[in-house]
Amino acid sequence: MKKALTIAGSDSGGGAGIQADIKSMSANGVFAMSVITAVTAQNTLGVQGYVDIPIEYIEMQIDSIFADLLPDAVKTGMLSNPETVALVAYKLAQYHVDNLVVDPVMIAKGGSPLLRQEAVENMKSLLFPQALILTPNIPEAEFITGKKIVSGADMKEVCLEIADMGVRNVLLKGGHMGSEEASDLLYAGEEFHTFTTPRINTKNTHGTGCTMASAIAAGLAKGLSVYDAVKSAKCYIQKAIEHADELNVGSGHGPVDHFWMMK
Query: 6 catalytic, yes or no?
Result: no
Task: Give this prediction's pTM.
Answer: 0.96
Among candidate residues 3, 23, 91, 173, the one labeled active-site is 173
**pLDDT greater than 60 at residue 82:** yes
Element housing 216 (H / E)? helix 208-221
Least confident of 110-114, 117-121, 167-171, 176-180: 110-114
Query: 9 catalytic, yes or no?
Result: no
Q: In b/e form, how buried is each residue of 183-213, taking b as 16+ CB within 10 angstroms?
A: bbbbbbeeebeebebeeeeeebbbbbbbbbb
Q: pLDDT tens digit string along 86-145?
A: 999 999 999 999 999 999 987 665 555 667 777 888 999 999 999 999 999 999 999 899
Among candidate residues 13, 77, 209, 254, the one labeled active-site is 209
H, E, C per residue of 64-125: HHHHHCCCCEEEECCCCCHHHHHHHHHHHHHCCCCCEEECCCCECCCCCECCCHHHHHHHHH
Among candidate residues 76, 208, 219, 234, the one labeled active-site is 208
Percent share of the chain, pLDDT over 90: 86
Query: 173 catalytic, yes or no?
Result: yes
Query: 205 catalytic, yes or no?
Result: yes
Question: CATH number of 3-138+205-262: 3.30.1360.30, 3.40.50.2300, 3.40.50.300, 3.40.1190.20?
Answer: 3.40.1190.20
| Segments making up each domain of the chain, as ranges | 3-138+205-262
Among candidate residues 15, 207, 219, 254, the one labeled active-site is 207
Among candidate residues 40, 91, 135, 210, the one labeled active-site is 210
Among candidate residues 205, 211, 219, 254, the one labeled active-site is 205
